[in-house]
Amino acid sequence: MDDVNRVSQATYEEWTRRAKPRESDLILAREAPIGNVAIIPKNLEVCLGQRTVLIRPNRERANPHFLLYLLLGNEIQSKFQALSGGATVAHLNMEEIRKIVLPKIPDRIIQEKIAAILSAYDDLIENNLRRIKILEEMAQTLYREWFVKFRFPGHQKVRMVNSPMGKIPEGWENKRLGEVIELAYGKGLKEQERILGDVPVFGSSGVVGYHNQSLVNGPGIIVGRKGNVGTVHWTDAAFFPIDTVFYVIAELPLYYVYFNLRTQNFISSDAAVPGLNRNQAYSLPFILPTPNVLRFFSETIEPIFNLLNLLKRKNDVLRQTRDLLLPKLISGELDVSKLDIKTTDKRL
């Protein structure tokens, strides 16, 4: 019995050693979203969920980053989608995944060159995302300093007075949300009804697709009505808000309205499908600063938003270029064998 226990323990230890994710392993989603693939970066502890698959590349034959892009390519993604069809809840079966035949892959040096080219785009995208995050935190901090802590430029010369919301700067007003903005309903636009264009379609989770016609001119603010209740999104471009969201109509500077809405306590209704109660939203308190303070805030925050918009547009171009290059590189249509590209052996 002791021998059996020792064998079982050894088998278990071997299984856990192999199953534990490690750097440069790939993770494949079997459900929601099907076929999504990611690579585990350095110094990151990962725990696999039930709807994921761990893929450990043979590092003698395959560069993990090349394999990542291979699995993200249209050929393999089409196979994933075909295997998942027909089920009530679409998912990938483990046995079917194992049967997928990969296309012929180039030798290791070519793999590394392809991975280096595509990774360069992803590195630029990631760097821009970090800059975007910093800028967003700067803008949020600026709003909080001016309108929560009341440390706006010249605040030392402004007397604080009592109000129903506590002490506020003299000249500022206590309003209700419904007095200063309108939450207008979006319009139904099913996915199959959309004609591909460059107009972002907004749902409560953000951009859910693109269409060739807009419903609202930008810039604009979108508020989640159903699903992700109370989420607040900003767009500089003309957009199409669908019927799961409200869009904001206001004469006030939109930058201030945007940050104010992000601090509001929106409450979901008790319906079977969660939804934002517009009457409740309209009853929420809204501090209205003086026109001069609002104008100065807009002038201060606008350059930050302009840079945010520029970085987001750069990332859109980088993603489009990467996605255009990916199938051409993977298939060998673009020959990289003679390109002088510095590569790093990623075998671990």
Q: Note whether residue 233 is domain-resident.
A: yes
CA distances from 343 to 33, 65, 116, 232, 325 (A): 31, 12, 6, 42, 18
Say if strands 181-185 and 245-250 run parallel, antiparallel, or are unpaired.
Answer: antiparallel
Same domain, 177 and 80: no
Same domain, 196 and 93: no
Domain boundary at 78, 102, 126, which? 102
Q: Measured between alpha carbons, how far is 250 from 294 in angstroms, rounded to an integer?
A: 14
Q: Note whether residue 278 is domain-resident.
A: yes
Strand partners, 175: 286
Q: Measured between alpha carbons, how far is 248 from 225 in angstroms, rounded to an integer?
A: 12
Q: Note whether residue 127 is domain-resident.
A: no
Q: Measured between alpha carbons, how far is 245 from 242 in angstroms, rounded to an integer?
A: 6
pLDDT of 251 > 90? The answer is: yes
* 133-167 per-position pLDDT tens digit: 999 999 999 999 999 999 999 999 999 999 988 89
Q: Note whether residue 326 is domain-resident.
A: no
Same domain, 181 and 263: yes
pLDDT of 345 > 50? The answer is: yes
Q: Measured between alpha carbons, how far is 198 from 236 in angstroms, rounded to an integer?
A: 13
Number of domains present in the structure of the chain:
2
Residue 212 pLDDT: 95
Q: Which residue has the higher pLDDT, 55 or 137?
A: 137
Residue 174 pLDDT: 94
- pLDDT category, 348, cuts 50, 70, 90? very low
* 269-289 per-position pLDDT tens digit: 766 667 898 999 999 999 999
Residue 102 pLDDT: 83
Q: Note whether residue 125 is domain-resident.
A: no
Q: Note whether residue 80 is domain-resident.
A: yes
pLDDT of 344 > 70? The answer is: no
Same domain, 281 and 198: yes
Domain at 64, CATH number: 3.90.220.20
Q: Measured between alpha carbons, how far is 261 from 146 in angstroms, rounded to an integer?
A: 15
H, E, C per residue of the chain? CHHHHHHHHHHHHHHHHHHCCCCCCEEEECCCCCCCEEECCCCCCCCCCCCEEEECCCCCCCCHHHHHHHHHCHHHHHHHHHHHCCCCCCCCCHHHHHHCCCCCCCCHHHHHHHHHHHHHHHHHHHHHHHHHHHHHHHHHHHHHHHHCCCCCCCHHHCCEECCCCCCEECCCEEEEHHHHEEEEECCCCCHHHCCCCCEEEEECCEEEEEECCCCECCCEEEEECECCCCCEEEECCCEEECCCEEEEEECCCHHHHHHHHHCCCCCECCCCCCEECHHHHHCCEEEECCHHHHHHHHHHHHHHHHHHHHHHHHHHHHHHHHHHHHHHHHHCCCCCCCCCCCCCCCCC
Domain boundary at 288, 314, 335, which? 288
**Mean pLDDT, range 120-143, rounded to an integer:** 96
> What's the chain's average pLDDT?
87
Single-letter residue type at 78: S
Same domain, 182 and 98: no
- pLDDT category, 6, cuts 50, 70, 90? very low
Domain boundary at 246, 268, 288, which? 288
Domain interval for residue 214:
173-288
Same domain, 280 and 178: yes
Same domain, 180 and 264: yes
Q: Note whether residue 17 is domain-resident.
A: yes
Minimum mean pLDDT range among 150-159, 276-285, 305-314, 333-342: 333-342
Residue 18 pLDDT: 53
Q: Measured between alpha carbons, how far is 128 from 284 in angstroms, rounded to an integer?
A: 36
Same domain, 183 and 278: yes
Residue 314 main-chain phi, psi, to 5 deg: -60, -40
Cβ neighbours of residue 214 under 8 Å, at least 6 residues apart?
199, 238, 239, 240
**Mean pLDDT, range 325-342, rounded to an integer:** 87
Q: Note whether residue 319 is domain-resident.
A: no
Residue 268 pLDDT: 81
Tokens representing residue 339 in the block: 């390109």
Residue 47 pLDDT: 74
